[in-house]
Amino acid sequence: MGKIGILLINLGTPGAPDTASVRRYLKEFLSDPRVVELPQWLWQPILRGPILMTRPRKSAHAYRQVWMEHGSPLAVYTRAISSALQQGLPELVVDWAMRYGNPSIASRLEAMVAAGCDRILLAPLYPQYCGATTATALDAAYEALRKMRAQPAIRTLTPYYADPAYIEALRASTLTQLAALDFAPDLLIASFHGMPERTRLLGDPYRDQCVETARLLGEALGCEVRVTFQSRFGRAKWLGPATDDSLRKLPGQGVGKVAVLTPGFAADCLETVEEIAIRAKADFIAAGGHKFVHLSCLNASRDAMNLYENLARRELAGWLER
């Protein structure tokens, strides 16, 4: 038999922190009907007009604040996760791809098949299922497979928002990072990426899965973990409460020290480093807060690799000999 592969899939990133690269990335990202659920005849003139004329410059500035030596944080950490998982599971072929930008899902699937993989686990790195993340990643993979003459057998990673190994990884990572602080937070906030409220009403389970993750983590830690949602875009009603609004109100409610974790993100990225660790911190301090910390995502930590190896062996049961 051929080889077994795992393709880790994350959201995407521009190739460079400049306006032109960010414009190309945003055009691809925001043209996805899974991401913006408006008729294309209505949405495309708006996207190609005011949005792509103004937003790329602002976003490029944000990317420059967090850009690392070898690329954007999301690319650097996703690559590191892939490398570490390959070391932990040397009998497999482990690769990674981005839904938007490079390396593309199609190119990595082709490379894995060329390397002899006849069985592949597609693993979107989203603990909570959402149509705008998990589903569109799988859409792109299925479209690439549709063009193949000889297709590999495919499995997909189920959402792991309540998996005991995931909750334990979050618990261990949170405790390790809190122990390194010079203060004890008054409140622990779990900030998840926001989605339009309309998606929940149409049946997307994302919000409920986020709330369940926070509830289980709170039980494991023995403290309150308050849920908020970040990254609003456009004028539609989004899931709430909003992270930025909540943080501005907390000092007036007697909360002067806060720690924010972002458990919906497998790897640190623009939304965690720039939006939370930089901008949200500034908002909280300006509102009268005293201490603020963003707790890093799992990234390629030992806690993360214990989780991913556990998930991989479970999902590959029957293919992979234990």
Give the CA distances from residue 258 to residues 145, 222, 291, in Å, rounded to whole numbers and listed in that order.
Answer: 46, 16, 6
Q: How many CB atoms lie within 10 A of CB 285?
A: 14
What is the C-alpha separation between 214 and 296, in angstroms, rounded?
16
In this structure, are residues 210 and 161 in contact, taking their beta carbons and an 8 Å threshold?
yes
Q: Which residues are annotated as a binding site for Fe(2+)?
A: 193, 271
Contact 165, 307 (CB under 8 A): yes
Half-sphere exposure of 208 (CA within 13 A, CB side): 6
Q: Is 172 helix (H, G, I), strand (E, B) or coil?
A: helix
Which is it for strands 3-12 and 257-261: parallel, antiparallel or unpaired?
A: unpaired
Distance of CA 9 to the CA centre of its chain: 10
Question: Strand pairing partners for 147?
Answer: none
Q: Which residues contact 288 (CB under 8 A, 6 or more apart)?
A: 251, 252, 256
Q: Report DSSP state, residue 158.
A: P
Q: Helix, strand or coil for residue 71?
A: strand
Q: What is the DSSP letter of 319?
A: T
Q: Which residue has the tokens 């909360």?
A: 255
Binding residues: 193, 271
Question: Do residues 165 and 158 touch, judged by C-beta distance below 8 A?
Answer: no
SS3 161: coil
**DSSP-based three-state secondary structure for 293:** strand
With beta carbons less than 8 A apart as the criterion, state whether 187 and 226 touch. Answer: yes
